[in-house]
Structure 1
Amino acid sequence: MKPNLVNDILRQYDMPYAKADLIRHNENLTYCIDDKYLLRIHKSKPDFTTVHYDNNVDSIKRRENELKFLIHLKANGLNLQLPIKNIKDQFVTVHKDGTVATLLMWLPGRILNKEDLTDKTGYHLGEMLGRMHKAAEGYCASDVIHYDHHLCQKLSYFLSIYYDNGKLDKVHFESMTRALGLIAYRLKQSDSIFTHSDLSLSNILLTDKGLVPIDFSLFGSSSPMLDFGSLFSFVDEASCRANIIKGYEEVTGTRVNESEISYYVSFQILLGIVLHYESWFGEAWFTKRLPEWCCDYFDQLSGMG
């Protein structure tokens, strides 16, 4: 990223001399600004695009809705990062070259890792998720990603392109598209709420005030089970998973149908596969992992594993 672009954007927040330290580059370029703010420049790295998810949603409106969602969650008691407006009193900054950027308050803490995943932490994860879903109640927006049966159909379409181009063999193509059909059916039967949709360990911050979800850039509308699918994609221990469910149920007062979660773990894996396919294709680890995913997850949904 050209330094003058970062500086140009920071001028829109009246911070022309701020120090910008690059954190990471995935779907966004993220910078720590003077240890006080988080700058997100919404330019994905090569071969990493969320166009598969977008459902023809206007990108600027989606960013605005994400930040308004954060404000809504904060107003309803959730501890998280709040957005900062630019000098034009706007939450979303559009550079003269069309680059879109947003700024959030910096939140001290560290991201979770596998070593943190004790039963106690699992319970706190469930509490965090329950509080987030309860805080999301009452929020309204249409210009968001919809993780629904239509998106399953879109993912199947992209997989068919990879198959037709010889980048995906028939066995794995059929395994994934069959799973997407089953997931689509489940989504049709489910009530939708606004979800984080990308609760990897790197998007959960451990702070002195507890666990905090961060990076809502892929937030959208779906079954609440989608967020369980995110967590369970990274949490393997049965006891930790059980405590996530326990914490969630005690906060929300609702029962979790554990048998449903496997569909959403598969959905999250499939979302990741389609999102990253161009960069993962040909990698030795992916060539080994894809058959395992098909056998251990996708085929299990239809009883073929």
Structure 2
Amino acid sequence: MTPPLHVRDHAGVRAVLADPRFAVPAVPEDPRPVGGLGWLRRTTVRFSEGADHDRRRAVVEGLLSRLDPADLRASARTRAREVPAEAAPYVPVEVLAVGLGVLPGSLAPIVPATRTVAAVYLAGAPADATAPADNAVGTLVALLPGGDPEEVAQRVALLVQSCEGTAGLIRGALAMVDESGLSGPGLPATEVLVAEALRLTSPVPGTRRRALPGAVLAGRPVAEGTEVVLDFAAANRDPTVFPDPDRPALDDPTPGHLTFGHGRRPCPASASATALACGVLDALLEG
């Protein structure tokens, strides 16, 4: 069996993400019915390739096009002022849920259900370990608008994929502020904090691809079927790209972090996620 290939440098990660000869790993067969975790995995854009991916991505982009990032930021700021500080990192899930059609009076189960699914969404856990996630997917499906099952799945996936990543981004930005010793007027703009937290804390630490026939990386062939592990956290600290890779560049951030991906399949929700995180941080850091 061919061992996994780990790619940690910025150029290598970009090359794999841009090359169609490196595909998203196939979703394992899952006998569970429509409305559960297996259905969600095999129906969402995250685990799709080819025509399925293109069609589902168009659905996601259509859903996101109805959400103004400025409105998301304002709503997140308002809601973050209303909840305990420990709950604030999950405010983006609530705000996004309302934007996707959940009635404001039905929000109580949204964060617990989303976190339950997010905990096993990418892990490939066995069926007996994911039964709670099946129920949680059902909860989210019931609360979101009905309609075409493929569109419903993309709504659920937007909540799930934004959950821990955005929460981690908010926590990372707060930790960076604590470590910097800056406060009040000395703090940089929230957008700068978020950009550097995306690079340094890598709330999405990486992803995987599978080599197809003819795959080549850095001039060397990669055997078909090789699992390719892309390390965003390491690439985001590549000293050939970032002049002082382990320190936050709060005065003049260097662009180019890979936390939102690159190439063929960049995250379609990057603007929304950034706006939501900024809104929460606006509230937590005000004053």
Q: What is the TM-score of this pair, normalised by structure 2?
A: 0.25
Q: What is the TM-score of this pair, normalised by structure 1?
A: 0.24
Larger RCO: 1 or 2 (CA < 8 Å, sep 6+) = 2
Higher helix proportion: 2
